[in-house]
Amino acid sequence: MTDNAASRHTTGTGAPGAPAQTEELLGANASTNAPDDGTEPAPDVALEKDLYRPGDPIRDTKAVDGPIEQRWAERRFEAKLVNPANRRKLRVVIIGTGLAGASAASTLGEAGYRVTSFCYQDSPRRAHSIAAQGGINAAKNYKEDGDSVYRLFYDTVKGGDFRSRESNVYRLAQVSANIIDQCVAQGVPFAREYGGLLDNRSFGGVQVSRTFYARGQTGQQLLLGAYQALERQVAAGNVEMFTRHEMLELVVKDGRARGVIVRDMVTGEIETHLADAVVLASGGYGNVFFLSTNAMGCNVTATWRAHRKGAYFANPCYTQIHPTCIPVSGEHQSKLTLMSESLRNDGRIWVPRKKGDDRSPREIPEDERDHYLERIYPSFDNLVPRDIASRAAKYQCDEGKGVGPGGLGVYLDFADAISRMGAGAVEERYGNLFDIYQRITGENPYEVPMRIYPAVHYTMGGLWVDYDLQSTIPGLFVCGEANFSDHGANRLGASALMQGLADGYFVLPNTIRDYLASGPYPAIEADDPVVAEAVESVRRRIAIFLGAGGERSVDSFHRELGHIMWEYCGMERSEEGLLHAVERIRDLRKEFWSNVRVLGTQDGLNQSLEKAGRVGDFFELAELMCIDALQRRESCGGHFRAESQTEDGEALRHDDEFAYVSAWEWGGEDGTPVLHKEPLAFEHVEMKQRSYK
């Protein structure tokens, strides 16, 4: 930490006007830690003592040394094999049928393992991955514009603000090209150029065109490919599919993950499914903010239940705020809509130069418009990474230059693109996105600029995994957005689909065999004490919710929690705000358990009960996110600490102190979480302050 930052933090903790509860918390800390000489204790010492405990460093024991280009090949070779006859004796439970889960289940099924697959939707095809619009990255260099595996690796490490593992990112870049081949072979209808070759476009944070797409429906088309592969294995009898089943507990026996407890959401029955290994591909937890671009059902329960059973949770505070979403229109709203980043290829972002200018956008002459991204970041202009574009939009609105209701919006304007290539060409590229926008706002983006504002979109944090994608619980593997992944503190656009499919089609099938080769693991009886305890804990929670008899709906708690998170752990975080948030979350959580109203019964479809369980877990996660954000006294990627910025308001990292992954151990019901740090080393990409200017 720089001296400056240190002194700002010190002042911050005692800031006048801190909410009363925050002052109480700080006061309590101060007295517990007060040195004998009567001087004030350092605030970080106080925080460490009360909100979390430092633990031993953690290391990725599966990491491979040697030349970075050969590490993945070496790991694949070293990983033990399972002969085809033995694969039939091994069962793997997979939670999730999004791109990560469906690709993993179909590949393991094809390999001959026995797979049990779960999702909470009525069809695997409805997983949230279907919503992905813009595209998927791959280092194919079809445009001959200087792309390569190394450049994709470099862009991704830099884009993640040097908070990801080099080895993992390099593997991701290597595997990226295989994904496109795999999907084309499955018949995924990627966009093609006039001559029939696959087309590419650009996404934020890069200067090459490497994003493969299928209009604005890339996720849907990729998921259809994975789904068909999955259904083929269902038909072949290798995969057993359970839709409308929600995992509510992990079964751990002798330190190994051995199965799950699920609730049949239609009949209410609680079921046990045992296996030799468990894979979580349950997606991200952006809905902790209540309003996000995620599907309404997205939640943290699967990974959080595993966390409570011993899986470390990594970098929970890293949230991606996406710059181009349709602005919030009022308190009635329960969902936000993304406008794909691909629009920034041709749309120009601007605000009026004059504060409070409420003329219609078409009446504002060119010289009275501020294309602020083009002005501040001339090298990348409208295609700066998401974290940068989001903060820049916020600053414009904070300065009073925002447009639309409440001044919380900036323009994304296609007038130039339409006059350059014609409305037809624009429609061909973005037509369905324009339709979505028009249907939601009632405004025609061919005629007036879109209004956009940043919104919660993706979570870079998730369960900690090693190079094999194995969590700290042996036998528990984690894929896709559910793991803490390869994106560091910020995800570049079109990289989530790449990571989910890399994990499911190529990485996990090669690494899990190393674990399964030591199986089959000893059989577990259905009445084993560990199973009985897991079932009992599910039943107990359900009974508490149904018996609470309170006065507030689950949604009202969720909405209030989301407000707290957006206000204090959203686009900008400060020590004072985060401390306040922890206090408020704790109070609200207490009220939740005593005053929530869950109607209906457990014996059938009960959406209020489903939500209660998810929101209960969001409360615990939210607190950990704030604590993680508190201890990371630097700005990096999506995590912007107000106390740590350059003179011109850019994120200021402190590599000497914070170049680590924070891996959190569950501290117990009333305990404090334990922080284990995994140091990060950068040998191939020099750690520099990011600049897109």
Could you list the active site residues? Answer: 386
The distance of Cα 43 from the centroid of its chain, to the nearest Å, equals 30
* One of 98, 160, 205, 488 touching ligand FAD (CB under 6 A): 98
Question: Minimal distance in Å, beta carbon 325 to ligand FAD?
Answer: 9
The CA angle 547-554-577, to the nearest 5 degrees, is: 125
Q: Which region, judged by CB under 6 A, interacts with ligand FAD, from 127-135, 233-241, 400-408, 590-598? A: 127-135
Q: Do the Cβ atoms of 153 and 223 come closer than 8 Å?
A: no
How does DSSP classify residue 195?
A: T
Q: How far apart are CA 510 and CA 513, in angstroms?
A: 6
Q: What is the closest distance, in whole angstroms, from the C-beta atom of residue 436 to ligand FAD in the complex?
A: 10
Closest CA to 351 of 402, 414, 404: 402
497 binds ligand FAD (CB under 6 A): yes
> If we measure between CA atoms, which residue out of 294, 289, 280, 285 comes closest to residue 246?
280
Compute the least distance from the CB of residue 589 to ligand FAD, in Å.
20
The verdict on 282 binding ligand FAD (CB under 6 A) reads: yes
Say how far apart CA 317 and CA 255 lie, in whole Å. Answer: 28
CA dist 472 and 343 (Å) reads 40
Q: Say whether residue 239 binds ligand FAD (CB under 6 A).
A: no
Residue 287 vs 645, nearer CB to ligand FAD: 287
Backbone φ, ψ for residue 143 (5° rounding)? -85, 0
Rule CB under 6 A: choose which of 1, 93, 108, 131 binds ligand FAD.
131
Of 6-14, 20-28, 97-105, 326-334, the segment contacting ligand FAD by CB under 6 A is 97-105
203's tokens: 């996404």
Structure-derived torsion over alpha carbons of residues 388, 390, 394, 395, reported in degrees to the nearest 10: 10
Question: Of the candidates 210, 109, 198, which has an alpha carbon nearest to the alpha carbon of residue 497?
Answer: 210
Site mask, ligand FAD, residues 453-472, x = CB under 6 A?
A: ----xx--------------
User: Contact with ligand FAD (CB under 6 A): which of 72, 120, 162, 453?
Assistant: 120
Residue whose Cβ sits closest to ligand FAD: 98
Q: What is residue 42's DSSP assignment?
A: P
Q: Is 104 in the site for ligand FAD (CB under 6 A)?
A: no
Which of 361, 480, 519, 616 is close enough to bind ligand FAD by CB under 6 A? 480
Which one of the spans 63-71, 275-283, 370-378, 622-630 is the region binding ligand FAD (CB under 6 A)?
275-283
Q: Residue 85: which H helix or E strand, with range?
A: helix 84-87
User: DSSP for 596-663?
Assistant: EE--S-SSS--HHHHHHHHHHHHHHHHHHHHHHHHH--S-BTTB-BTTSB-TTS-B---HHHH-EEEE
* 247: contact with ligand FAD by CB under 6 A: yes
The verdict on 204 binding ligand FAD (CB under 6 A) reads no
Site string for ligand FAD, 299-328 (x = CB under 6 A): x-xx--------------------------
537 binds ligand FAD (CB under 6 A): no
Of 10, 33, 121, 186, the one binding ligand FAD by CB under 6 A = 121
* Residue 246 touches ligand FAD, criterion: CB under 6 A: yes
φ, ψ for residue 502, nearest 5 deg: -60, -50
Contact set with ligand FAD (CB under 6 A)? 95-101, 118-121, 127-129, 131-136, 218-219, 246-247, 281-284, 293-294, 298-299, 301-302, 338, 457-458, 480-482, 494-497, 500
